[in-house]
C-alpha cells in the first residue's frame, strides 16, 4: 500500500494510541478505487479496554460543572474549525464528498453544532422543584456511539457534544468506510481539555466492534445513526442489558409541491435536497409529489436544473456530485435505477450507465423518474443515491396519503402559500418538515417517526437523551 498521511496507527483509548491486533481494514477512495489508508480491525477485547477507560473516567468528568464542560466544548469546536482543510480533505478522500461540501456541510456544520450545544449549559433545567420533590437530571454513564459514513464528522459530533455536556463518557466506533476524521476529533478533544478516557475510539466492523459495544454490560446507552436494518439489530442486542437505545435511521422524505407553490423555487430546492451529497443523506427528499396537471412543468424544470449538477472528481471545486461512497453502494444505486425502468417508471434524465468519461470510480448519473407509482420499489425503499422520483397526485388528500405511505418518517418538505403549506405540514407523520425551504435551526430537535428511529438530536431535547432523571422527595 502506498504510504498515506491518513493511516491510523491504533485505537484511541484512555488518551493514547493503543495498538490492537495485527489485522487491518483498508480505506478506499471511491473516486479512484485506490487504498488511501488503513485502520486497525478492532476486537471485543479492544472494546473492553475502551469501556474500562470510559468507566474509570466517568466519576471525575461527571462531577465537573456544566459550565466547565461547555467551555471545553467551545474549545473543541474552535479546534475543529482550525483544522477544516485537513478534515475536509480526509472526508473527500474516504467517502467522495465534493470538496466544497466537505469544507462547509461536512466541517462547518459540526462546528456550529458544538457551539449551539455549549450554549445550552446556562439555561438548561439541570434541577427543578416540583411540589415537595427535587428533580435532578444526571448523566446516564458510558455512552456507546456508532455512526455511518455519509457525514462522518457531523454524525459523531451530534452525539459527542450533548453527551459530554451532560457529563457522560463515550466509546465511539466510526464507520469502517469513513474512519479518518475520528482520530482528528480525538486529538482536538484532548487539546480542548477532554480528559483521558472520556472519549475513546475503537475502529472496526459493525459485526465485531458494533456488536460488542451494543452488548456490553458496562455501556449504559447506545446512540446509533445508520440504516433501519442495522438499528433493528442493535436494538435486539442491546435489549439483553436493558440499556437505552437512541436511533436515527433511514428516510424517504417527500417534497409536496402544492398547486399554489412557487414552482421553480420548489423544484430547485427539492432537487438540491434529493441530490446533495450524492443523495447519500438520511434526511433527503427523494420523492417529489406534484399536482398531476402540472407534472410536465415540473419535469421540464427538474431536468433543466439537473443538468447543472456536474458529476466528477470530488477534489474539483466545480463538482457537485462525487462518487458514491463505495463500489458496493454504486452497484446498489444502479440496481434501483434498473428496477425503476423495469417497473415502468418514465426515465426523464440520467440512467444506469456510467457518467460519460468516468470509467473508473463509484460514479452514477443523477437520475430522474416521472409517473412513478407510489407503491413501487423506487418510491418506497431508501435508495441513498442521486435518484429523484416525481409522483403525480390528484388532490391534497392523496398527496398526504402518499407522503405518509412509507415505513419511514424522518423529513419532508412542503411548498405553497405559507398558511396552506403549514396546514399540510401538520398532517405529515415525520419528525421534521421544512415549509418553503425554512432555514435549519440547530436548536430544534431532529429525529424520526416510525422506522426512521426514536429519540431526538440537537437542542434541549437532544441533550435530554443523554440524561437520567432522579426524583428526590423532601
Phi, psi dihedrals of residue 152, rounded to the nearest 5°: -65, -35
Q: How far is CA 116 from CA 119, 161, 359, 392, in A?
A: 5, 9, 43, 39
**Would you state the cell numbers that stand for residue 394, as one nine-digit string?**
390528484
Mean pLDDT across the stretch 228-244?
97
Is residue 170 within a helix (H) or strand (E), and if so which, with residue range? strand 169-173
Give the pLDDT confidence of 170-217 residue by residue, as tens digits.
999 999 999 999 999 999 999 999 999 999 999 999 999 999 999 999
20 pLDDT band (50/70/90 cuts)? confident
Phi-psi region of 344 (alpha: psi -120 to 50; beta: other; left: phi over 0): left
Please check whether residue 145 is in contact with residue 163, taking contact to mean a CB–CB distance below 8 angstroms: yes
Residue 348 has pLDDT above 50, yes or no: yes
Catalytic residue among 115, 176, 282, 382: 282
Among 85, 84, 94, which Cα is nearest to 38's? 94
| pTM, full prediction | 0.96
Rounded CA gap, 221 and 395, in Å? 44
Rounded CA gap, 451 and 461, in Å? 20
Please check whether residue 389 is in contact with residue 378, taking contact to mean a CB–CB distance below 8 angstroms: yes
Is residue 421 within a helix (H) or strand (E), and if so which, with residue range? helix 418-425
Residue 305: strand pairing partners: none
Predicted pLDDT at 171: 98
Q: Which fold has domain 254-441?
A: Aldehyde Dehydrogenase; Chain A, domain 2 (3.40.309)
Among 308, 285, 262, which Cα is nearest to 421's? 262
Residue 131: partners with Cβ closer than 8 Å, 6 or more residues away: none
What percent of the chain has pLDDT above 90?
A: 97
Residue 438 has pLDDT above 70, yes or no: yes
Predicted pLDDT at 6: 62
The residue ranges of every structural domain in the chain are: 11-249+451-473, 254-441
Q: 3-class DSSP state for residue 286? A: coil
Is residue 17 within a helix (H) or strand (E), and if so which, with residue range? strand 16-18
Give the pLDDT confidence of 268-287 residue by residue, as tens digits.
999 999 999 999 999 999 99
What strand order describes the sheet that includes 367-370?
346-349, 367-370, 387-393, 287-291, 254-257, 411-415, 432-435
Give the pLDDT confidence of 108-127 residue by residue, as tens digits.
999 999 999 999 999 999 99
**Would you state the cell numbers that stand for residue 446, as one nine-digit string?**
431532529
Residue 351 has pLDDT above 90, yes or no: yes
Report the mean per-residue pLDDT for the chain. Answer: 96
Predicted pLDDT at 21: 80
Predicted pLDDT at 1: 30
Mean pLDDT across the stretch 321-335?
98
Q: 3-class DSSP state for residue 52? A: helix
Mean pLDDT across the stretch 252-259?
98
Residue 387 has pLDDT above 90, yes or no: yes
Taking residue 217's Cβ as centre, other Cβ atoms within 10 Å add up to 9
Please check whether residue 153 is in contact with residue 165, taking contact to mean a CB–CB distance below 8 angstroms: no
Q: 248 catalytic, yes or no?
A: yes
Map grid coordinates 473516567 to a residue.
57
Range with the lowest mean pLDDT among 17-21, 58-62, 116-120, 312-316? 17-21
Predicted pLDDT at 2: 36
Q: 464 catalytic, yes or no?
A: no
Rounded CA gap, 299 and 371, in Å? 10
Predicted pLDDT at 8: 81
Any idea of the CA torsion for 436, 440, 445, 446, to the nearest 10 degrees? 80
Catalytic residue among 248, 382, 457, 465: 248
**Would you state the cell numbers that stand for residue 402, as one nine-digit string?**
402518499
Rounded CA gap, 291 and 399, in Å? 8
Please check whether residue 298 is in contact with residue 257, taking contact to mean a CB–CB distance below 8 angstroms: yes
Rounded CA gap, 433 and 410, in Å? 9
**Would you state the cell numbers that stand for residue 162, as one nine-digit string?**
450533548
CATH architecture of the domain formed by 11-249+451-473: 3-Layer(aba) Sandwich (3.40)
Rounded CA gap, 154 and 98, in Å? 16
Rounded CA gap, 274 and 150, in Å? 14
Predicted pLDDT at 4: 45
Q: How far is CA 463 from CA 2, 68, 127, 245, 349, in A?
A: 42, 16, 14, 14, 43
Among 255, 224, 240, 242, which Cα is nearest to 411's? 255
Amino acid at each position: 500500500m502506498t504510504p498515506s498521511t491518513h493511516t491510523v496507527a491504533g485505537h484511541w483509548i484512555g488518551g493514547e494510541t493503543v495498538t490492537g491486533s495485527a489485522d487491518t481494514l483498508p480505506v478506499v477512495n471511491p473516486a479512484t478505487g485506490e487504498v488511501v489508508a488503513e485502520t486497525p480491525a478492532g476486537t471485543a477485547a479492544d472494546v473492553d479496554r475502551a469501556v474500562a477507560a470510559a468507566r474509570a473516567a466517568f466519576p471525575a468528568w461527571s462531577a465537573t460543572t456544566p459550565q466547565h464542560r461547555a467551555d471545553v466544548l467551545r474549545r473543541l469546536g474552535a479546534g475543529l474549525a482550525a483544522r477544516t482543510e485537513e478534515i475536509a480533505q480526509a472526508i473527500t478522500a474516504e467517502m467522495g464528498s465534493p470538496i466544497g461540501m466537505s469544507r462547509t456541510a461536512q466541517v462547518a456544520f459540526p462546528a456550529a453544532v458544538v457551539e449551539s450545544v455549549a450554549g445550552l449549559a446556562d439555561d438548561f433545567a439541570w434541577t427543578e422543584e416540583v411540589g415537595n420533590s427535587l428533580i435532578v437530571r444526571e448523566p446516564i454513564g458510558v455512552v456507546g456511539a456508532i455512526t455511518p459514513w455519509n457525514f462522518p464528522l457531523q454524525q459523531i459530533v451530534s452525539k459527542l457534544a450533548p453527551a459530554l455536556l451532560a457529563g457522560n463518557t463515550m466509546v465511539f466506533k466510526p464507520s469502517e468506510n469513513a474512519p479518518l476524521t475520528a482520530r482528528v476529533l480525538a486529538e482536538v478533544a484532548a487539546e480542548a481539555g477532554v480528559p483521558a478516557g472520556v472519549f475513546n475510539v475503537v475502529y472496526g466492523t459493525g459485526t465485531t466492534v458494533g456488536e460488542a459495544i451494543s452488548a456490553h454490560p458496562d455501556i449504559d446507552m447506545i446512540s446509533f445513526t445508520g440504516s433501519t436494518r442495522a438499528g433493528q439489530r442493535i436494538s435486539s442486542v442491546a435489549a439483553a442489558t436493558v440499556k437505552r437505545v437512541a436511533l436515527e435511521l433511514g428516510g424517504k422524505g417527500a417534497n409536496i409541491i402544492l398547486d399554489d407553490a412557487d414552482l421553480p423555487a420548489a423544484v430547485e430546492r427539492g432537487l438540491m435536497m434529493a441530490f446533495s451529497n450524492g443523495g447519500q443523506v438520511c434526511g433527503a427528499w427523494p420523492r417529489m409529489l406534484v399536482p398531476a396537471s402540472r407534472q410536465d412543468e415540473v419535469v421540464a424544470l427538474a431536468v433543466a436544473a439537473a443538468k447543472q449538477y456536474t458529476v466528477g472528481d470530488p477534489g474539483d471545486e466545480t463538482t457537485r456530485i462525487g462518487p458514491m461512497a463505495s463500489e458496493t453502494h454504486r452497484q446498489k444505486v444502479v440496481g434501483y435505477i434498473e428496477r425503476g425502468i423495469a417497473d415502468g417508471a418514465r426515465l426523464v434524465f440520467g440512467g444506469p450507465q456510467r457518467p460519460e468519461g468516468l470509467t473508473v470510480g463509484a460514479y452514477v448519473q443523477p437520475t430522474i423518474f416521472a409517473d412513478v407509482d407510489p407503491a413501487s420499489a423506487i418510491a418506497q425503499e431508501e435508495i441513498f443515491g442521486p435518484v429523484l422520483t416525481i409522483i403525480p397526485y390528484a388532490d391534497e388528500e392523496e398527496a398526504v396519503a402518499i407522503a405518509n405511505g412509507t415505513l419511514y418518517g424522518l423529513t419532508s418538505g412542503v411548498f405553497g402559500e405559507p398558511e396552506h403549506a403549514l396546514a399540510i405540514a401538520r398532517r405529515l407523520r415525520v419528525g421534521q418538515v421544512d415549509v418553503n425551504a425554512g432555514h435549519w435551526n440547530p436548536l430544534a430537535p431532529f429525529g424520526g417517526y416510525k422506522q426512521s428511529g426514536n429519540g431526538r438530536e440537537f437542542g434541549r431535547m437532544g441533550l435530554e437523551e443523554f440524561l437520567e432523571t432522579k426524583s428526590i422527595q423532601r
